[in-house]
Each structure stands twice: as structure tokens, then as C-alpha cells.
């Protein structure tokens, strides 16, 4: 039995954003069935909202929203079902938190999500973030056709360097394997994953590193450390990994 | 206009309540809320165990609540 006081602190830390990921997700679920908890959360939001006035508004980079919209449109076209993108939108806060909790000083962070309960037909989406904040790249993998598609969101051209996409799975050995080097338009061979089976792709970790022009000279990422995580987010996902 | 005045009053009230907190604890709440710091990040920065951070946060939040609701 949770004491009322404890519940209130749960609500307070939920609003503050300091709950561990699992607790946060639990509270997110509980508030839909516990009006008292929901009311406490709303009260804390109201109490702390004046803190927001301390933040100076900053204009986003020109064209940022257009790029995000474009990426989502492309995702929508890539998806066989509209609701997958809706799910993606709903998952945004979840992967942000998950990656924030799991990041170890990574400059590029990766979350991989499976968007459909019928995994063999559905695309994966990987979101590559800069500094926990804005997605740098979106990667979709259509498992049925083994086609991959990568789109920059906030990623900038790397000048004299190249972005390189990696895949890692225990079955492939202890080190990441290169999927390909992104060209200047941030494209990579869409068929680069054809030789991997769907089961492996479903559990694999993807990463993007910044490498010398043309790709890593060593065959291993030489840029910033990369971490990736697999998040099943289809129906029933809440009871599994999340 | 009325809304704006309410905002200013709410902010002044919250600031007064923050001033009643120990500086470290006020900073902790601000860093968490405004900068998105996790308990772990706060523990590193303030060189305290995570459980202490949790206790400090709870005390600060309870104190803020008492102050704001009074």
C-alpha cells in the first residue's frame, strides 16, 4: 500500500523529471486509472510551472520543424500503416527518457524501436540523438524487405568527415560491423542489410559514428562511443521491456 | 494582461519559497526541472549518494509545497 505522502512525492518527482525510467513509466500508466495520482501530478505541474518563466525563449534553428515534418512524412510513406507513425509520436518521450538513463557520455545516442506487434512485416525505427535532445537521424528498417532508409533531422553535414552506420549483435562477434558510410546526402545503400536475417535485425543495436572522410580506417568506430537499445513498443510492450 | 500579472505573481511567490530552501537543495530542484538532470547526474554533481539526493529532493519538494500552499 502506497502512503498518500509517498504518492505525492511520486507525483512531484514525476513532474520534476527525476524518477528512474521504470518508475516514470509506471506512474504514466497508473495516472490513467488513479484520479488521485493524476490530480497530484497536475497540482505539481501547476506549482512548478512558474519556473518555466526563468527560461529565456530560444528560437529553433530555421527549417528545423520543416525537416522534422519532412522526416515524419517520409516515415509515413515508408510505413504500411499510418498508425505506426502515430505510435512513434507517442513514444518520443519514452525513448528520450530511456536513452537519457542509459547514456554513458555518448555524443550520439541511439534508440531502436519496433513499432508493430507483427514484427516480421513492420519497420524498425532508430532515432539517433544529439545530446539527449533533438533527433539527429531517423533510421527505418523494413524487416520484410530488409530495406533501410536513413533521414537526417538535425544532423549537419560533417565537413571533411563522414557519418558511418554500424550494426552490433552478439551473433556478429564482439565488435560492431559496418553497414555503410553515409554519402553527402546522408544516404546509404538501402539494401545494405539484405544479408542479415530479420530475427537478428530485430534485436541488433545500430549506431552512427563520425569518422574520417570515406569511413573508419580501422573497420571499427573511431569516433564517439555509441550505444543502442532495442525497444519493443507494439501492443503488450509495456509488460515486456518497458 | 490578467494572465500575465498572475504569472508574475506566481513566479514571485515561487521565488520566495525557493529562497527559504538551502541553496544546494534549491539548485537541485532547478537543475532537475529546468535542465532535466537525473538523480544520478545530481548525485555526481553534488557528490552525494543517490539516496541522499532523493531525500534532499523530497524534503525540498515538501518544503516548497508547504510554502506554496500556505
Give me the pLDDT at residue A54, please: 62
Query: Cα(B25)–Cα(B51) distance, rounded to whole angstroms?
Result: 14
Q: Which residue has the higher pLDDT, A9 or A63?
A: A9
Residue A25 clears pLDDT 50, i.e. is over it: yes
Q: Between residues 31 and 50 of chain A, which touch chain B (CB distance below 8 Å)?
A: 47-50
The answer to whether the CB atoms of B33 and A51 lie below 8 A apart is yes
CA distances from A46 to A43, A77, B14, B68 (A): 5, 39, 11, 11
Q: Where are the domains of chain A?
A: 4-54, 64-239
Which of B5, B19, B30, B36 should we substitute to test contact with A (largest number of A Cβ atoms within 10 Å)? B36
A43-64 pLDDT tens trace: 999 999 888 766 555 666 677 7
- pTM metric for this prediction: 0.42
pLDDT band at A87 (very low <50, low <70, confident <90, very high): very low
Shortest alpha-carbon distance between residue B2 and chain A (Å): 15
Please determine, for the modelled complex, whether the ipTM score is greater than 0.95: no
Query: Cα(A52)–Cα(A47) distance, rounded to whole angstroms?
Result: 11
Return the SS3 of A186. coil
pLDDT band at A201 (very low <50, low <70, confident <90, very high): confident
A114-138 pLDDT tens trace: 333 344 444 555 656 555 444 567 7
Chain A interface includes B50 (CB < 8 A)? no
Q: Where are the domains of chain B?
A: 2-69
Query: Cα(A79)–Cα(A174) distance, rounded to whole angstroms?
Result: 32
Query: Cα(B60)–Cα(B54) distance, rounded to whole angstroms?
Result: 10
How is domain B2-69 classified at the architecture level of CATH? Orthogonal Bundle (1.10)
A1-21 burial, b at 16+ Cβ within 10 Å, e below that, comes to eeeeeebbbbbbbbbbbbbbb
Give the contacts of A80 (CB within 8 A, at least 6 positions apart). A121, A122
User: What is the average per-residue pLDDT within A1-29?
Assistant: 84
pLDDT band at A79 (very low <50, low <70, confident <90, very high): low
Give chain A's mean pLDDT.
69
Contacts of A53 in chain B (CB under 8 A): 7, 11
| Distance, CA of A69 to chain centre | 16
Amino acid at each position: 500500500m502506497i502512503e498518500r505522502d509517498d504518492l505525492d512525492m511520486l507525483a512531484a518527482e514525476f513532474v520534476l523529471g527525476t524518477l528512474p525510467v521504470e518508475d516514470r513509466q509506471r506512474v504514466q500508466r497508473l495516472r490513467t486509472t488513479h484520479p488521485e495520482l493524476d490530480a497530484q501530478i497536475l497540482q505539481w505541474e501547476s506549482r512548478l510551472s512558474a519556473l518555466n518563466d526563468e527560461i529565456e525563449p530560444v528560437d529553433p534553428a530555421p527549417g528545423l520543424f520543416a525537416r522534422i515534418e519532412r522526416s515524419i512524412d517520409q516515415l509515413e510513406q515508408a510505413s504500411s500503416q499510418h498508425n505506426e507513425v502515430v505510435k512513434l509520436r507517442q513514444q518520443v518521450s519514452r525513448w528520450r527518457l530511456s536513452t537519457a538513463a542509459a547514456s554513458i557520455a555518448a555524443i550520439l545516442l541511439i534508440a531502436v524501436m519496433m513499432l508493430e506487434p507483427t514484427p516480421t512485416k513492420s519497420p524498425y525505427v532508430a532515432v539517433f540523438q544529439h545530446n539527449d535532445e533533438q533527433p539527429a537521424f531517423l533510421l527505418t528498417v523494413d524487416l520484410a524487405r530488409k530495406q533501410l532508409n536513413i533521414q537526417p533531422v538535425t544532423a549537419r553535414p560533417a565537413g571533411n568527415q563522414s557519418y558511418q552506420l554500424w550494426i552490433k549483435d552478439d551473433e556478429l562477434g564482439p565488435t560492431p560491423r559496418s553497414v555503410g558510410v553515409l554519402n553527402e546526402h546522408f544516404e546509404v545503400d538501402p539494401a545494405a542489410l539484405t544479408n542479415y536475417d530479420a530475427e537478428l535485425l530485430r534485436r541488433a543495436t545500430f549506431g552512427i559514428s563520425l569518422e574520417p572522410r570515406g569511413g573508419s580506417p580501422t573497420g571499427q568506430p573511431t569516433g564517439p562511443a555509441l550505444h543502442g537499445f532495442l525497444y519493443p513498443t507494439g501492443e503488450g510492450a509495456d509488460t515486456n521491456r518497458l | 494582461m490578467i494572465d500575465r500579472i498572475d504569472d508574475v505573481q506566481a513566479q514571485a511567490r515561487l521565488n520566495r519559497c525557493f529562497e527559504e530552501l538551502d541553496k544546494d537543495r534549491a539548485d537541485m530542484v532547478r537543475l532537475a526541472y529546468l535542465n532535466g538532470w537525473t538523480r544520478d547526474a545530481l548525485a555526481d554533481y553534488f557528490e552525494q549518494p543517490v539516496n541522499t539526493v532523493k531525500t534532499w529532493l523530497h524534503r525540498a519538494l515538501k518544503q516548497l509545497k508547504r510554502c506554496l500552499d500556505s
